[in-house]
Structure 1
């Protein structure tokens, strides 16, 4: 969906979502269902129930795109509360040291639109979409403005290099249909069960690009 605020009962220009979804709603005769959803479920802030939901989540999927619209979806995780609600229409999450690519923050630098998807796989089997506008701030500024320490309280032993502040423009439910129920398990138990370790070259890209290694499919004609 787009980021145009909650449905207020006026014309199509006031509806949440994109023109494309409105066209398809008419084409596939789902307009009435969509209007009910906009009216009953889409808000421009986090309700108290949404705030409580975010406060107990341990993961979030982050969607960003660059200035040309090229998209990237990433994953963030931490202890419950690693994403914090500052105000009903503002939240913040930490960016820890990773592979150095900085894809999500690089996109935000070009295009502030951001989408976040929180899913409770363990208890209530429900999700929450949060769309808005993001800005990047330093650990110092996050501590000064929002009283956030750069380590320990967010993820013990991990230092937040930067924080991302999200101004909420749209929030709505992701229903429980088809969300699988997962079971929490100690990360160390995977090796004991003979599972292949998920190391840096799990997908074999580095091996494929090793000196003297001919990539699979090289020299083959297209089928």
Structure 2
């Protein structure tokens, strides 16, 4: 059955109308953006084990993808450039295909327990430089590729969303028994004849155990 679509009737269509609802940013918010990776950003990145990366193709179709490893897994090359290792995944390479069509990317770095996040916007490319990739090897296994980013905007994002969500508070987390079962979702969405949920789950577990690097 085709999903029903709700048509939004009352929407904002101009910057002026948006500002009438939201107001204007403070001087501090206006001035917080810098255009290079300074010592504060470098320190934040060195402590971050996780980021999300937003990309879009040439038509503007958007995607967001997580990247994670041990703190400091993203290599800061200089005040303008950083390199993100591309570890083994499901080979869809949605982000990398987008980057080939449209190099604009947005990154958001997280540090567990810290409400504020670091945002970096810029241009990306796909890097196959052997010397750089060897420096990012884990257990003798180097990344397949690297995503190089030239920073154009860097700024701290306030903690309000993290605080409202209770993201870093274990007492707010649901018991695992009440969480969605990823294998069930994946099996239903893929809908491959003859492949059971248990088989999908076994494949996920095997990949998590043996193919992280």
After TM superposition, is the score higher than 0.5?
A: yes
Q: 1:138 aligns with which of 115, 123, 128?
A: 128
CA RMSD of aligned residues (A): 3.1
Task: Return 5+ residue gaps in structure 2 as ranges.
Answer: 1-12, 196-213
CA shift for structure 1 position 176: 1.4
**Residues in 1 aligned to 2:19 and 2:58: alpha-carbon distance in whole angstroms:** 30
Write the mapping of 1:56-75 to structure 2, written as runs, cut at 5 A.
Answer: 56-75=47-66
1:114 offset after TM fit, Å? 0.3
Do structure 1's residue 173 and structure 2's residue 156 form an aligned pair? yes
Q: How far 1:87 sits from its partner (Å)?
A: 0.9
Tell me: CA distance 1:198–1:87, structure 2 relative to 1, closer, same or farther (3 Å): farther
Instruction: Please tell me whether residue 114 in structure 1 is matched to residue 100 in structure 2.
Output: no
SS in 2 for 1:28: helix
1:84 aligns with 2:75: yes
Equivalent in the alignment of 1:126: 116
Which of 95, 100, 111 lines up with 2:91 in the alignment?
100
| Residue aligned with 2:72, SS | coil
Rounded Cα–Cα distance in structure 2 between residues aligned with 1:125 and 1:203? 30
Q: Structure 1: 5+ residue runs without aligned partners?
A: 1-19, 185-189, 214-223
- What does 1:13-92 correspond to in 2, within 5 Å? 23=16, 26-28=19-21, 30-31=23-24, 33-39=25-31, 41-92=32-83
* Superposition pairs of residues 199-210 of structure 1, within 5 angstroms: 201-206=183-188, 209-210=191-192
Rounded to whole Å, the distance in 2 between the matches of 1:139 and 1:195 is 45
Does the 8 Å CA contact 2:106/2:122 hold for their aligned counterparts? Answer: yes
Output the CA distance in 2 between the equivalents of 1:27 and 1:197. 40
Q: TM-score, normalised by structure 1?
A: 0.67
- Between the two proteins, the alignment pairs up a number of residues equal to 176
Which structure's residues are more often helix, by fraction?
2
Q: CA deviation at 1:42?
A: 0.6
Change (3 A) 1:119 1:29: same
Residues in 1 aligned to 2:17 and 2:33: alpha-carbon distance in whole angstroms: 19
Displacement of 1:49? 0.8
In the superposition, the TM-score normalised over structure 2's length comes to 0.70
Give the conservation status (yes or no) of the 8 Å contact 1:139–1:150: no
Corresponding position of 1:149? 134
C-alpha separation between the residues in 2 aligned to 1:30 and 1:197?
38
CA separation of 1:44 and 1:103: change in aligned 2, threshold 3 A: same
